[in-house]
Structure 1
Amino acid sequence: MKKITVIMPVYNTAEFLQESVYSVMNQTYNHLELMLINDGSEESCTELIEQLSQEDARILPLHINENKGVGFARNLGVEKASHDYIYFLDSDDYLPPHTLELLVNHINDHDMISGSTILTTTKVESTDIKPEATRVNQTLEKSFDNISALNRLIKLDFIKSHQIKFSEEVTCYADLPFIVDMMHHLNVTETPMIKEASYSKRVRNDPISNPALVQLDANKKAVDFLTVYLFLKDNYKNSDQINMFLDDHLLSYYKLKHHLFYQDQATLPLISAAVQKSSTQPKQKLNSFVKAQWKSLKNENYKKFIQQTETEILLKDIKTALSGRTKLKTFLYKKVFTRLPLKEKSIVFESFLGKNYSDSPKNIYEYMLENNPDYQFIWIFNKKREIPGNAKQVKRFSLQYYYYLATSKYWVSNSRIPLHLNKREGNVYLQTWHGTPLKKLVFDMNEVYSANPKYKGHFFEQSRRWDYLISANQYSSDIFKRAFKFDKQMLEFGYPRNDMLHSNIKETNAKKVKEKLNIPADKKVILYAPTWRDDDFYAPGKYKFKLMLDLEKMKNELGDEYVILLRMHYFIADHIETTGVEDFAYNLSKYDDIAELYLISDILITDYSSVFFDYSNLKRPILFYTYDLEKYRDTLRGFYIDMEEEVPGPLLKSTEEIISAISNIEEVERQYEDKYARFYNKFCGWEKGHATEKAVQTVFKD
């Protein structure tokens, strides 16, 4: 049997490495070795490499003391290899079980055979059934069009005899010299490819903390591409095939990234030199813009090139703007509204994406309404509401929405402003956030199970706009700094929304709220406020929720003494059914301010929602309905605290347990008295009822 050496460079990919390694060791073709080349990884990743190598004698670790790049690591692997075939695999990707077997069975006398590549954001379970192989022949240009050495089985003798190497001079595009050398020496017009021999290429969900090469800075990638292009053009002056291949990729790259070369003028000499070396007759057709820019670059007329590119981009932006209402509004925001004078005493407020009038933005607004009436106030809503004061109400995503965001000096929001709305110079953004974190946040999450696989990258861009971030306790401050990568000013006064929980007239306010909601004065109130599940979505931003409480049974057992208020997370868009129990269960999911519901509640039932941190300010009993604790904790998110040890109430798994705990609520309070006190001191110690005043005095300076 022919033996395969799989070469896998590793650089700080501990979170993916085990999965990647096991996908090789579990191949149906097992006559192989895996060369794990540690390219200067940090200690945790190095230890994992050693641990994996102890599990299977076919895993060969090789350590490099400093990070020298994927090109160096692969070249070293080829140099150390001594078997029949070479196969390259990245340490964050993985293989279905039959990939290597399919490639080996069909390579025959060819020097190389390729498979197909599938982009994936999460692990996809593979079937054990061996697929039927579909073999096709591809031209050399088609075969190497992705300029990647991945998912190719190559004869080692072929690589060594022709001294084919990866570039060690660049971080990105190190494969291009290897690919071009392969094309030059293969001496064939076509190469075989097996469609079913697939390779799962992971699109990493964190392009910030530890990006893949394709997620590195665009200017860095441009410099590396042009550097390699110029080197290869000099080395293959006499090969028409290679020159055409390189020129075609230069033009494709230029069309895709042309905006880089006028924004970062340091790259202009490089792109100009590349254009001068390119063919005057590229295979791809040139549009009039590219022809003109190409000519200016060839003549090193950078000023003219910049003017031409700016004109092209403007015309394309106008064309895009005229293709739809939202695109037109975005265009006006960027090109017109943000160039208008900034209104120094104008504040835009938004709470939960315009869904209600609530939370800390509401408290800040009402304080300023009373104490700073000379400001102009704008509230963003999805539909018009009755609110105190003279604030202008603006419909979210209307033309006025874009105008006021562009011209108001201050933004106050508890969620994120859309990615396409850049914050202009002079804007001040107060991010109030919306809770003390239990569930792991953004850059503390390994995997993203929500509807948007680009969540981390988008969050990072959006959060760079924040000038101030409110925190309720030291625990939150520490997490926010790390999980949000936040390094600006933290306002550590507690949450403005919780001020009412410490008010001297909170009992009077509670009575008014209860009367407004027509809740019987003689009934005690249970508040059920669960969170959403990351994996239960049916469209981006829209999440399902299946009510796991048996409301009818609760009514039968508790209805004489209690009513229950249902308050779902604002992400949960589904209707909650209360037919048959309307006199017991009140669906208040769309009620504006949950803090008012805290005031009238005698008991809180929640799960993994941050509401229990706020509710703890009242020192009233809390029950945790955690029927899916293991899944939520171990798969979807992970927690910052040990719920079984730290939360100030019992973890319950069924409606029957909930009913029993409520029926014996005084005993539950006695049982958790000491734990509640410790919890209160840790998470509510900053809450004194003055957070709103302190936040306003810090941010809004005349």
Structure 2
Amino acid sequence: MKKVSVIIPVYNTTEFLPECLESVINQTYTDLEILLINDGSDQGCRDLLEEYANKDARIYLVDSIQRKGVGAARNAGINRASGDFVYFLDSDDYLPLSTIERHVHHIGSHSMLTGRVKKVTVKPEEAGEERNSKVLKNRNKTRLFKNYSVLNRLISMEFVKGNKLRFSENVENYSDVEFLIPCMINMKKYPYITECLYYKRVRNDPITNPALSQMDKDKVVRDYMAVYNLLKDQYEGNGAVSKFLDRQFLNYYRKSVIMLLADQKQVPQSFNSISIAAKKVNPKALKKLNVVVKTEINQLRNEKQASYARLIKLHHLLRNAKRAVKSRRKVYVFLYRNFFIRMPMKQKKIVFESFLGKNYSDSPKNIYEEMHQNYKDYKFIWSFNEKRKIPGNAKQVKRFSLAYYYHLATSKYWVSNSRLPMHLDKRPGNIYLQTWHGTPLKKLVFDMNEIHSANPKYKLHFYKQSRRWDYLIAANQYSSDIFKSAFKFEKKMLEFGYPRNDILHDAERDHKADELKLKFGLPLDKKVILYAPTWRDDDFYEPGKYKFQLRLNLQQMKERLGDEYVILLRMHYFIADDIDTSGAEGFAYNFSKHNDIADLYLISDILITDYSSVFFDYANLKRPILFYTYDLEKYRDTLRGFYINMEEEVPGPLLRDSEDVIRTIENIDEVMEQYKGNYERFYEKFCGWEKGNATKQVVKQVFKS
């Protein structure tokens, strides 16, 4: 057997290292030398590397206190390697167990064998194998090297040393190009094997711990220009390499440089490095470019920064206009960004939205009603998916209509309890009050490791959307602390409790509850159970539309509890499924589309939930709360994780099936007595700020004019 030196540079990838290293240690090909090159990682990551080095004799740790970059780390690995072949692996990626064996089996006398790289956001349960593919002996070399990556290539160490192959140490991005260009020149054949997979992880947190490719775009572009300029000079006499580099440069310019310069502030910062590179492009390579790009390149070559900036601005205007005509909404977004947002801002106009336009509810509702009563000189706009009956003279606009974009662009204030769309640019002077919609039990955003939701860019999108918030409401100190870390929120936290919970402390709440029961047509002689579960991150149709399977046996509940109770079903606003209550008529009522869940709190005598934040609000009433947690282990350990210990801290029992739920309700007085101590501690911690006056305090703080 021939030895393979696997070189793995490591920089602060503690959360990914076990998957990566286990996938190498357990390879079916065992004659390995595993070189872990620690590139200045923190102590926790260094400790984990030492732990692995101590448990497998094939692992060697090369430790560097100072970070030198991935190029230097890989060069250090080459210097230390003693294998017949070298194989590079990034420390956040992982391999199917037979990848290296297949490479070794098929490489024969070739200098390099390249496999297939597959991008993933979450590791599949089984890293798949493909057994019916074949080696393609002569793949087009331009196609083989265009990704600028050395990953998933088994390379002869004799070839590496013979051609003095090294990685660039002057840049963080694109350091592989300096290594790969000599390969392209000196290899006679370019074999590629589709059955050798490599899983390239697309990190879900490009804010806290980004991969190199997720760094600031201006830094990535500068590195590319530095590498291009260096190699163009180095291979000036090699027509094939020069042609390859020029083709890659022009592709990169269209895909990356132009997108960077959509931000006009980047033009003066980046112009010089791009201009130097553009001068090195062979004029013949420009012939097939479209007239807009060709003119831009010529302005770069002639160092005409002012005219280039105007061209780039026009380029993006035309590009956006071309995209806009593809749909009505894109036309509206184009108008919003290019025209509406430049119109005069109305200093006393407010746009309200609750739960993505689905409801007239929650804290935005309370804030609106307070302002409608006491701030008559303001103009109010409500965003809805469909027209609603609401008090006052607020103008209603359909979400994503032309009027919606016009009013958002010209209003000084936005008030919302969920995230507004990514494409809404926030203009200077605009004030965004984010009321949020619950005390967190489930881990949120940057406190989560893996993302199992429908949107793998959840963290990036959330970060961009939350940078627009000027105020954020917290219901308790616990929430305030979590929001600062999980949302990376550093602006004004309003620590008054939730406006939506004021009604739960209203002296007239019992009278209002009786009125609501009559309004809803519920029997006045029966108690009310409210079932309000949350959604599951991994069970979805598409982003924002989640599946839900009702796991309560409504028919059995009706038989045992129907003489004394009725049950109201209230699904999370993300849940798209209609809930079937067949066979439980007169007992089960579906209130999923009811505007405001606070109404349902008032009329209910018992709450059943799972991991929804509703129980934090409901606790203000000091009424029984039951937790139907049939999938507790999966939800806690895989999908989300919790901030508190549910088994010890929640103010009610954790129940696993319908029989448990029914039996607990039948003995509700005994259960309440059993959890009395828990409930008192819970109330003090999570409801202590709620005094019934949060709305007035928030309005006074935010709307100062």
Determine if the TM-score, normalized by the shorter chain, exceeds 0.5: yes
| Equivalent position SS for 1:345 | strand
Partner deviation per Cα, 1:116-167 (whole Å, 9 max, x = no partner): 1111111123468671340112132221111111111001122122221111
CA distance in 1, matches of 2:203, 2:211: 7
Q: Quick check: 337-346 or 297-306, which moved more?
A: 297-306
Cα pair 1:364 1:692 within 8 Å, conserved: yes
In structure 2, the residue matched to 1:578 is 581
Amino acid at match of 2:589: Y
For the structure 1 residues 128 and 368, does the alpha-carbon distance in structure 2 shift closer, same or farther, using more than 3 Å as the test?
A: closer
SS at match of 1:620: coil
- 1:204-223 → structure 2 map (5 Å cutoff): 204-223=203-222
Q: 1:443 to 1:129 in 2, by over 3 A?
A: closer
Distance 1:510 1:193, change over 3 A: same
CA contact (8 A) 2:39 2:63 kept: yes
**What corresponds to 2:296 in structure 1?**
293
Q: 5 Å matches for 1:484-499?
A: 484-499=487-502
User: Deviation of residue 456 (structure 1)?
Assistant: 0.6
Closer, same or farther in 2 for the Cα pair 1:242/1:283, shift >3 Å?
farther
Task: Give 4+ residue runs of structure 1 displaced > 4 Å after superposition.
Answer: 127-130
- Within 1, Cα distance between the matches of 2:143 and 2:407? 51
Q: 1:7 and 1:135 mapped to 2: Cα distance?
A: 24
- The residue aligned with 1:664 is 667
The reply on whether 1:78 has 2:78 as its aligned counterpart is yes
* CA distance in structure 1 between the aligned counterparts of 2:278 and 2:118, rounded to whole angstroms: 33
Q: Is the 8 A contact 2:502 2:690 kept in 1?
A: yes
- SS at the partner of 1:15? coil
Q: Indicate if the aligned counterparts of 1:632 and 1:638 stay in contact, CA closer than 8 A.
A: yes
One-letter code aligned to 1:193:
Y
User: Do the aligned residues in 2 keep the contact of 1:72 with 1:168 (CA within 8 Å)?
Assistant: yes
Please state how far the C-alpha of 1:315 moved relative to its aligned partner.
1.6
Residue in structure 2 matched with residue 241 of structure 1 by the alignment: 240
Aligned to 2:513: 510
Give the structure 2 partner of residue 47 of structure 1: 47
User: 1:71-220 counterparts in 2 under 5 A?
Assistant: 71-126=71-126, 131-136=131-136, 137-186=138-187, 188=188, 190-220=189-219
8 Å Cα contact 2:454/2:540 also seen in 1: yes
Within 1, Cα distance between the matches of 2:240 and 2:175?
20
Give the Å deviation of 1:57: 1.6
Kept in 2: contact 1:248–1:284 (CA 8 A): no
CA contact (8 A) 1:97 1:126 kept: no
The code of the aligned residue for 1:212 comes to A
Q: 1:283 to 1:75 in 2, by over 3 A?
A: farther
Contact 1:102 1:133 in 2 (8 A): no
Q: Which amino acid aligns with 1:200?
A: Y
Q: Which moved more, 1:263-272 or 1:682-691?
A: 263-272
Deviations 1:455-498 (A, max 9, x none): 11000000000000000001001100000000000000000000
Report the alpha carbon displacement of residue 636 of structure 1 after superposing the two structures with TM. 0.5
- Is the Cα–Cα contact under 8 Å of residues 527 and 605 in structure 1 kept in the other structure? yes
Distance (Å, rounded) in 1 between the aligned partners of 2:78 and 2:126: 29
- Counterpart for residue 359 of structure 2: 356
**CA–CA distance in structure 2, aligned partners of residues 348 and 579 of structure 1:** 40
CA distance in 1, matches of 2:127, 2:535: 31
Deviation per CA, 1:273-299, whole angstroms, max 9, x where unpaired? 111111111288211011111111111
Matched, 1:449 2:452: yes
In the alignment, residue 285 of structure 1 is paired with which amino acid?
Answer: K
Residues 1:387 and 2:393 aligned together: no
Q: Measure, in 1, the Cα distance between the counterparts of 2:469 and 2:231.
A: 45
Shift of 1:259: 4.2
What is the aligned partner in structure 2 of residue 31 from structure 1?
Answer: 31
The alpha-carbon deviation at position 39 of structure 1 amounts to 0.9
Q: Give me the whole-angstrom Cα distance separating, in 2, the residues matched to 1:128 and 1:402.
A: 46
Shift of 1:176: 1.1
Does the 8 A contact of 1:98 with 1:130 survive in 2?
A: no
Distance 1:78 1:679, change over 3 A: same
User: For the Cα contact (< 8 Å) 2:23–2:94, is it kept in 1?
Assistant: yes
| Secondary structure of the corresponding residue to residue 282 of structure 1 | helix
Conserved 8 A contact 1:244-1:283: no
Q: 1:96, 1:127 → 2: CA distance?
A: 5
Measured against aligned partners, the alpha-carbon deviations of 1:382-438 in whole angstroms (never above 9, x if no partner) come to 101111100001111111000011101000000010001111111100000000000
Partner residue in 2 for 1:57: 57
Contact 2:130 2:196 in 1 (8 A): no
Distance 1:130 1:32, change over 3 A: farther
Contact 2:10 2:37 in 1 (8 A): yes
CA distance in 1, matches of 2:129, 2:487: 43
Deviations along 1:363-387, one digit per CA (max 9) or x if unpaired, are 0000111111111011111101111
Displacement of 1:602 after TM fit?
Answer: 0.8
Q: Supply the distance in 1 between the matched residues of 2:479 and 2:19 (Cα, whole angstroms).
A: 32
Work out which of the residue numbers 273, 278, 283 in structure 2 matches 1:280.
283
Query: 1:322: Cα distance to partner?
Result: 1.9
Q: Secondary structure at the match of 2:278?
A: helix
Measured in 2, the distance between the counterparts of 1:128 and 1:183 equals 30
Determine whether 1:644 maps to 2:647.
Answer: yes
AA aligned opposite 2:260: L
- Alignment partners' CA distance in 1, 2:703 and 2:431: 9
In the aligned structure 2, how far is the partner of 1:274 from the partner of 1:525?
72
Supply the distance in 2 between the matched residues of 1:19 and 1:660 (Cα, whole angstroms).
44
Q: Distance in 2 between matches of 1:536 and 1:259?
A: 34
Change (3 A) 1:499 1:414: same
- CA deviation after TM superposition for structure 1 residue 182, in Å: 2.0
Judge which range, 280-289 or 691-700, deviates more.
280-289
Matched, 1:683 2:674: no
SS at match of 2:77: helix
**Contact persistence 2:324–2:331 (CA under 8 A):** yes
Give the match's secondary structure for 1:419.
coil
**What letter is aligned with 2:391?**
P
Task: Report the identity percentage.
Answer: 60
Q: TM-score, normalised by structure 2?
A: 0.98
Q: 2:623 aligns with which of 620, 623, 630?
A: 620
Change (3 A) 1:129 1:699: closer
Alpha-carbon distance in 1 for matches of 2:186, 2:369:
75
- The aligned residue for residue 335 of structure 2 is 332
Aligned to 1:537: 540
Query: Which letter maps to 2:354?
Result: S
Where do 5+ consecutive residues of structure 2 fail to align?
Answer: none
Contact 1:7 1:88 in 2 (8 A): yes
Please report how far the alpha carbon of residue 320 of structure 1 lies from its aligned counterpart in structure 2 after TM superposition: 1.6
Task: Give the one of 602, 605, 609 matched to 1:602.
Answer: 605
Deviations 1:287-326 (A, max 9, x none): 1011111111111111111122222221222222222211
Could you tell me how far apart the structure 2 residues matched to 1:519 and 1:537 are? 33
Per the alignment, residue 630 of structure 1 pairs with: 633
Gaps of 5+ in 1: none
Shift in Å, 1:96: 1.1
Task: Tell me if structure 1 keeps the 8 A contact 2:408–2:414.
Answer: yes
TM-score normalised per structure 1: 0.98
> CA shift at 1:55, angstroms?
2.6
Contact 1:354 1:381 in 2 (8 A): yes
Residue of structure 2 in register with 1:316 after alignment: 319
Give, in whole Å, the separation in 1 of the partners of 2:73 and 2:234.
23
Show the 5 A alignment for 1:225-264: 225-256=224-255, 257-261=257-261, 263-264=265-266
Change (3 A) 1:372 1:663: same
2:7 maps to 7
Q: Supply the distance in 2 between the matched residues of 1:144 and 1:432 (Cα, whole angstroms).
A: 50
